[in-house]
Amino acid sequence: MNKATAPIYQLKLQLGGITPPIWRRILVSGDIPLGKLHEVIQDTMGWTNSHLHDFVIDGETYSDPEAEIDDSQDENRYRLVQMAPRTGKKFDYLYDPGDGWEHKIVVEKIVEADQRYAGETGCPVCIAGARACPPEDCGGPFGYAEFLTAITNPRHKQNKEMRDWIGGDFDPERFDLVEINDLLNASNEMPG
């Protein structure tokens, strides 16, 4: 199977433990290796690829072999079409085990590759989403809630500290589809 004939997957990614939800909807080639899907998720969500990650699919763990995660399969040897062969398939992606950013992924659609997806749109591409990605190293869902409380209340004792740490303002409602797709395009053009 090659990219021109591989089916196109519509995936919904939702970050667990956050209300209101932070989510993205993406289109990727079914031929994408899990290792490359990890990179797409990083760009789409807004993470910086600074921590370990893994996928959990049907009770099996898949990760970067260089991370040497016990009982983990090499994510680069498995393609999405193999691991999620049908619509409705659900699996997990964990980023930064210390902070515990769990992403629930569901296959919403699988369509045959056609000119619209393969040509005009290209893959990977983000087609929808909501809310900003939490900052790296903020302490997971609980720490993010504390961060938001501090940064949105000028009287909070950690307001200045959190603003200095984040580099100014942080808008939790910000979602920029163009910016995400520019990042995906730039990453997709890089060799490797």
CA-CA-CA-CA torsion sign (117, 111, 85, 52): positive
Instruction: Give the pLDDT of residue 69.
Output: 82
The pLDDT of residue 101 is 97
Q: 9-13, 78-82, 188-192 — which is least confidently predicted?
A: 188-192
Residue 190's pLDDT is 59
For residue 84, give Cα distances in angstroms to 34, 135, 141.
Answer: 11, 30, 27
Question: CB neighbours of 172 closer than 8 A, spacing ≥ 6?
Answer: 131, 132, 148
User: What is residue 118's predicted lDDT score, i.e. its pLDDT?
Assistant: 43
Q: What is the pTM of this model?
A: 0.91
| Long-range CB pairs of 86-94, under 8 A, 24+ apart, other chains included | 86/110, 91/55, 91/56, 91/57, 91/58, 92/55, 92/56, 92/57, 93/13, 93/38, 93/41, 93/53, 93/54, 93/55, 93/56, 94/53, 94/54, 94/55, 94/56
Structure-derived torsion over alpha carbons of residues 56, 62, 64, 70, reported in degrees to the nearest 10: 100
Predicted local distance difference test score (pLDDT) of residue 3: 52
* pLDDT above 70 for 121: no
Burial 82-104 (b: 16+ CB within 10 A, else e): ebbeeeebebebbbeeebebbbe
Backbone angles phi, psi at 2, to 5 degrees: -125, 175
Coil, strand or helix: which one is 102? strand
Q: Averaged over 154-171, what is the pLDDT? A: 93
Tens of pLDDT, residues 20-51: 999 999 999 999 999 999 999 999 999 999 99
Q: pLDDT (tens digit, 9 = 90+) per residue, 86-110? A: 999 999 999 999 999 999 999 999 9
DSSP three-state, residue 160: helix
Q: What whole-number distance in Å separates Cα of residue 51 and Cα of residue 71?
A: 19
Q: Round to whole Å and give the CA distance between 57 and 86.
A: 13
What are 79's strand-pairing partners? Answer: 33
Percent of the chain with pLDDT over 70: 91
Please report the pLDDT score of residue 36 as a whole number.
97
Which structural domains are found in the chain, ordered by start? 8-131+175-189 (3.10.290.30), 133-171 (no CATH)
Mean pLDDT of the 124-151 span: 96
The answer, yes or no, to whether residue 117 has pLDDT greater than 50, is: no
Three-class secondary structure of residue 139 per DSSP:
coil
